[in-house]
Chain A
Amino acid sequence: MDFELSDDQRLLQDSITRLLGDRYAFEQRKGYVKAAEGFSPALWSQYAELGLLGVPFAEEYGGFGGGAQEIMLVMQAFGRALILEPYLATVVLGGTALQLAGSDGQKAEIFPAVAEGRMKLAFAHSERQARYDLSDVVTTAKRSGGGWVLDGAKSVVTHGDAADKLVLSARTSGDRYDADGITLFLVDTAAAGLARRGYATRDEQRAADVALSNVTVGDGDVLGEVGNGLAIVQPIVEAGIAATGAESVGAMEAMHSMTLEYSKTREQFGKPIGSYQVVQHRLADMFMTMEQGRSMAMLATMMVEEPESAERTRKIAMAKVGLGQAARYVSQSAIQMHGGIGMTEEYAVGHYFRRCMVIERLFGDPAYYLQRLAEDVE
């Protein structure tokens, strides 16, 4: 057991922190939110230059050759700065899909393009009726000539409006809820019959609803085995849980230190509010909760690096619950300790609050996973 970072990991962490320190102050970020894309294309290029967009990819594809730990470091730094760019969608979710199921040809086409910042991806799996049930897929893919025809709709696709390609699930056989019969496709967002409606989510990030009507794709666009897509969807979601878990740790760190600073400067009854024990203990509770959350983010990261197993699934579910609960407590406390100013759009803390609120329900919320864990109690 060893919790130390390697020299390379430390370098990676330092270079991200330096870049974001220069370019992602809260006031600068406000400008990026207003951009047409809803994020900063200039920063996206900077991430490419720094090698961040290729972190998990093999060096032969222009990547950094990193793994879940490196993603954890990146996402934690992104959480602290509250970044808006489609890193989760492109590198983590799209990247994991290709890592696990991509053919050599698909990887050779897509990984260098992603690493160089030329291509963005999104993971179009969830459907409006599905809630968090991963096997609830009714979008269909029917065999036609030498390819497939897609019909259906995908809901709240994270950064779906920015994506050049979608990793999209559709049912090639079976019925709604069947674990078998789901297949993943790589779909160009410019394809005829594909319509996207982009919108802002509560955390100022972007998502899109995707409608598919008679969209034609070829056999070369199938990702992995036909009918066995759920076996890839599950680890994609798990990678997403670990990555957003790390992001929420970064957000908790930011909220905690903001609240701590505020308690030293804000005076009431002639003294800084941080001199009152009731405030001190709330900050101590926030700290303890954050550290428990950090432990869970480490656990999720470690399990993502392990081969598939019931134990891995169970531990990641535990981490998801623990992190969701921790971030909710820290977020709510941060606003409460700030008082009125914490309620304002102008002030940063509410923005972190909203990101944690969204992360809590990405890939399933604590209640959903708690119920699943409860079913498995032995």
Chain B
Amino acid sequence: MDLRFTPEETTFREDVRAFIRDNLPTDIRDRMRLGHGPRKEDTVRWQRILNKQGWAGLSWPKEWGGPGWTSIQKMIFLEENQVAPAPELSSFNITMIGPVLIQFGTDEQKRRFLPRAANLDDWWCQGFSEPGAGSDLASLKTSAKRDGDVYVVNGQKIWTSTAHLADWCFLLVRTNPNAAKRQEGISFLLVDMKTPGITVRPIISIDGAHHLNEVFFDDVKVPVSMRVFEENKGWDVAKFLLGNERTGIARLGKSKERVKAAKAMAREVNANGRPLIQDAAFRQRVAQLEIDMQALEITQYRVISAYDKAKGSGRPDPLSSVLKVKGTELLQATTELAMDVAGPLSMPVWAEELAAMNEPDDMLEAASASTGSYLFLRAASIYGGTNEIQKNILTKAVLGL
């Protein structure tokens, strides 16, 4: 047992940090430091820089442009990228559809989609949830009826993040409504978002922003060649996708960066006649967060290390549910911290007014962004399998109940 990083891992971290420092466009970094999420063009610009360096296909095999990193190296990269702070790689492209195509796709599908996914030439979105199928995903109803060389898709998806920005969607549909088990009648399709019959309607979330959508499918024709894996075996693909590469799920680097930003702001604002950073209760709260992050960091490396050892088993480690639950709880706690530091300045929605005034005020912008993040990241314990579902997974997989 040796919990220290090897000299090679430490060198790798320094190299990654230096590359990000030298290549991350400063306008992107500055916006993110204020607590804004990246815009589409920010994510595209950064992912293309990383792709040019050969780093975008993080977990992909070398033959498909992956960097060939160990799991520890991947983790180090993710953390450095989040701490920078830089836009994260498109998870739809890199950790979802990419590995799915590598595992289940035809050669034609791989050649056509993988290089474009790595370079963000195609922006992918995920068509899984439906109004009646959230945590109970297998009850999905969107239907696909075979008609010669095409499937005719009808139905509705919801909570589809970035569908309004997307070029392609990977979609779960029901191809056999009469299957003995609900899971057995599902197929996995790749759908061009420009196909006639697709309507995207925005859902404005509680942070006032447009991340989410409803997507309607009305006699949408999808070529059979765009099906991944066998007909009615889409659930296997979905399970692989949901269980694959969950090691980055704790987003610990993000939490670290947010705590750092909150501390920086706490030096600028006063409480009881002195900088808030000097307040004992505030310091205890920060110390507690740092303790929780420290514990999760070790747990994360334990999961990764076990993942590397068990390579090929294809089964997600149930401990990754611990990462999801604890990681998102922490991330949410960091947004609360930032908002509480911002105090009364957290109340205004400044975005448009600040832009119109053309007088940059970082404090006001960061304070306003803090409530935006707080509100937006309430979703963190809901998406990717709610934290309650994660506890169900633990109940079955670890506890055997």
- Which residues on A are within 8 Å of B, measured CB to CB? 1-6, 9, 69, 260, 263-264, 274-275, 277, 280-281, 283-285, 287-288, 291-293, 295-296, 298-299, 302, 315, 318, 321-322, 370-371, 373-378
**Within B1-41, which residues are at the interface with A (CB < 8 Å)?**
1-6, 9
A292 near B283 with CB under 8 A, answer no
In contact, A374 and B286 (Cβ under 8 angstroms): yes
Across the interface, which residues of A come within 8 angstroms of B325, CB to CB? 288
Q: Which of A69, A283, A373, A377 is the one whose CB lies under 8 Å from B1?
A: A69
B137 at the binding interface (Cβ < 8 Å): no
What CA separation (Å) do A293 and B299 show in the bound complex? 9
User: Are A373 and B291 touching (Cβ within 8 A)?
Assistant: yes
CB-nearest residue of chain A relative to B280?
Answer: A374
Q: Chain B residue with minimal CB distance to A5?
A: B1
The residue in B280, B287, B292, B394 that gathers the most chain A C-beta atoms within 10 A of its C-beta is: B287
Checking A277, A283, A318, A375 against B290 with a beta-carbon cut-off of 8 angstroms, the contacting residue is A318
In the complex, what distance in Å separates the CA atom of A288 from the CA atom of B296?
A: 10
A263 to B400 Cα, complex, angstroms: 11
Would you call B287 and A374 a contact (CB within 8 A)?
Answer: yes
Instruction: Tell me, yes or no, whether B221 is within 8 Å of chain A by CB.
Output: no
Are A299 and B4 neighbours in the complex by a CB distance under 8 Å? no
B4: chain A residues within 8 A (beta carbon): 1, 302
Contact A287–B394 (Cβ < 8 Å): yes
* B230 interfacial contact with A, CB 8 Å: no
Let me know if A295 and B302 touch, CB within 8 A: yes
Query: A334 to nearest B CB, angstroms?
Result: 14
Docked-complex contact B3 and A299, CB < 8 angstroms: yes
Interface presence of B157 (CB below 8 A):
no
User: Known contacts A4-B1, A295-B295; is A284 also within 8 Å of B399 by CB?
Assistant: yes
Question: Per a CB cutoff under 8 Å, which of B1, B290, B291, B394 touches A3?
Answer: B1
Distance of B29 from chain A, by nearest CB (Å): 22
Contact in complex: A292, B326 (CB < 8 Å): yes
Residue contact A280 to B401, C-beta cutoff 8 Å: yes
Say how far B69's CB is from chain A's closest CB, in angstroms. 14
Partner of A298, one of B6, B280, B298, B399: B298
Proximity string of chain B (384-401) to chain A, C-beta cutoff 8 Å, 1 when within and 0 when not: 000010111011001111
How many B residues are at the interface, by size bracket? 35 or more
Taking CB atoms and an 8 Å cut-off, the chain B residues in 359-396 that contact chain A are 388, 390-392, 394-395
With both beta carbons as reference points, the residue of chain B lying nearest to A263 in the complex is identified as B401
Residues 308-335 of chain B, each 1 if its beta carbon lies under 8 Å from chain A, else 0: 0100000000010010011000000000
Report yes or no: A373 in contact with B401, Cβ–Cβ below 8 A. Answer: no
Question: Which of these, A277, A280, A288, A374, contacts B326 with CB under 8 Å?
Answer: A288
Residue of B nearest to A285 (CB): B391
A288, B290: Cβ atoms closer than 8 Å? no
Chain A residues whose CB sits within 8 angstroms of the CB of B9 once the complex forms:
1
- The winner among B290, B390, B399 for most chain A CB atoms within 10 A is B399
Taking a contact as CB atoms closer than 8 A, the residue among B280, B292, B399, B400 that contacts A322 in the complex is: B292
Closest to A3 in B: B305
Please provide the 4 A-B residue pairs with the shortest distance between their CB atoms, ordered closest to farther.
A295-B298, A374-B283, A284-B391, A373-B287
In the complex with contacts A1-B72, A322-B292, A296-B298 CB distance below 8 A:
yes
Report yes or no: B401 in contact with A370, Cβ–Cβ below 8 A: no
B263-281 near A? 1/0 per residue, CB < 8 Å: 1000000000000010010
Q: How far is the CA of A351 from the CA of B272 in the complex (A)?
A: 46
CA distance A263 to B288 in the complex (A): 32
- List, sorted by A's number, 7 A–B pairs whose CB atoms are closer than 8 Å: A6-B1, A280-B401, A284-B395, A285-B391, A288-B325, A299-B298, A370-B288
**Closest CB of chain B to A355's CB: distance in Å?**
21
Known A277-B395, A283-B401, A292-B295; 7 more pairs at CB < 8 Å = A1-B5, A3-B1, A3-B302, A260-B400, A283-B395, A373-B287, A377-B286
**Chain B minimum-CB-distance residue to A4:** B1
Cα separation A376 to B290 with both chains bound (whole Å): 12
Cβ < 8 Å to A, chain B residues 158-197: none
Cβ of B103 within 8 Å of any chain A Cβ, yes or no, is: no
With both chains docked as a complex, state the minimum distance between the C-beta of B204 and any C-beta of chain A, in angstroms. 32
